[in-house]
Amino acid sequence: MLHYLRHIRQKIILQDNVRRYLLYAIGEILLVMIGILLALQVNNWNENQKKERTVKTILVQIAKDLHRNLADMSGDVVIHRMGYQSNLKITEALLNNEPYQPEMAFDFWCLKTDEYIFPVTTGYDKLKELGVSSIHNPELEDLLLAIYESIMPRISKESHFTPDLDEYFSEYYFTHFKYNTDLNLRYEINFPQDTLSYPRRVESEYGVETVTLGYVPLDYEALTNDEQFIIMLKESIQFRRYKLSRYDNLIGVTEQAIQLINKELGYDPLATDQED
């Protein structure tokens, strides 16, 4: 092709035909420009295809991260619901001057036990580097921003929306409670994938020990007249409700995000891994 064009150009020059030469020169420039534009178009297409593959890889990672976070949250919710029910039970018992029952030791343990989400953010961190808008799905983009930038921070350890309930009660517990050591008191915590029974034998590199659970008040009768503790109980009910509402919200939008990712990919990456 180039040889043919060069031959035509030399022929026109020899014929001293300026008009034809100018037309040829313009045509040659246009051909070069068209070639450059086509090359750029192909390059842009290749880059876009490469970016799309990268986005899909990241979405697969985000889906797997969200599944792990759901599993983590399901265990946290168990603890928070136990804490909430124990809080109500203790408050009612003290306000109604009900007698102390040995199993309340576990309720006092649940009262001050707190949990937080420690999310896996590997995929989302990669998406932020690329640009969240790279997924070209406004609904999914909004959900991911809500999950990682709004809701998760509210139930993380660093959150200032509610106090850590263990820290909130700890100072009071140091002077008003003792740790339960009664091996005859049995208690179970039923998680979605596991059940923990107490007392339980725990083996470690330091040996075997029997772990009990619960806190026993040093003077239960005094608690019924302790206005400070009653106020703490009432406040902690509100704290626990807030935590549970945030967890319920996060679980709901996380499940929505997973569905949208599966739709975007055209398959469920977790199901594919399980088949492999």
Reply yes or no on whether the pLDDT at 75 is more than 70: yes
For the cut 60, the answer to whether the pLDDT of residue 17 exceeds it is no
Task: Yes or no: say if 69 and 119 are a contact pair by the CB < 8 Å rule.
Answer: yes
- The pTM of this model reads 0.80
Parallel/antiparallel/unpaired status of strands 207-211 and 200-204? antiparallel
Asked if 195 contacts 141 with a C-beta cutoff of 8 angstroms, the reply is no
Q: What angle do CA 112, 116, 120 make, to 5 degrees?
A: 165
Average pLDDT of the chain, as a whole number: 87
Instruction: Find all residues with CB under 8 Å of 58, minimum gap 6, and list them.
Output: 123, 126, 127, 130
Q: What are the Cα distances from residue 139, in Å, to 144, 155, 270? A: 9, 23, 21
Pairwise CA distance, residues 37 & 41, whole Å: 6
pLDDT digits (tens, 9 = 90+) for 208-225: 989 999 999 999 999 999
Per-residue pLDDT reduced to its tens digit, 35-70: 677 666 665 655 565 778 888 999 999 999 999 999
Torsion (CA) 136, 139, 141, 145 in degrees, nearest 10:
170
For residue 2, what pLDDT is reported? 47
By the 8 A CB rule, do 110 and 83 touch? yes
Q: Report the C-alpha gap between 102 and 218 in whole angstroms.
A: 13
Q: Is the pLDDT of residue 102 over 90?
A: yes
* 230's tokens: 């009653």
- What per-residue string of b and e applies to 97-122 under the rule 16 or more CB within 10 Å gives b? eeeeeeebbbbbbbbbbbbebebbbe
Domain residue limits, the chain? 2-180+210-275
Confidence band (pLDDT; 50, 70, 90) for 115? Answer: very high
How many whole angstroms separate alpha carbon 218 and alpha carbon 97?
Answer: 16
How many Å apart are CA 118 and CA 121, to the nearest integer?
Answer: 9
- The answer to whether the beta carbons of residues 137 and 260 sit under 8 Å apart is yes
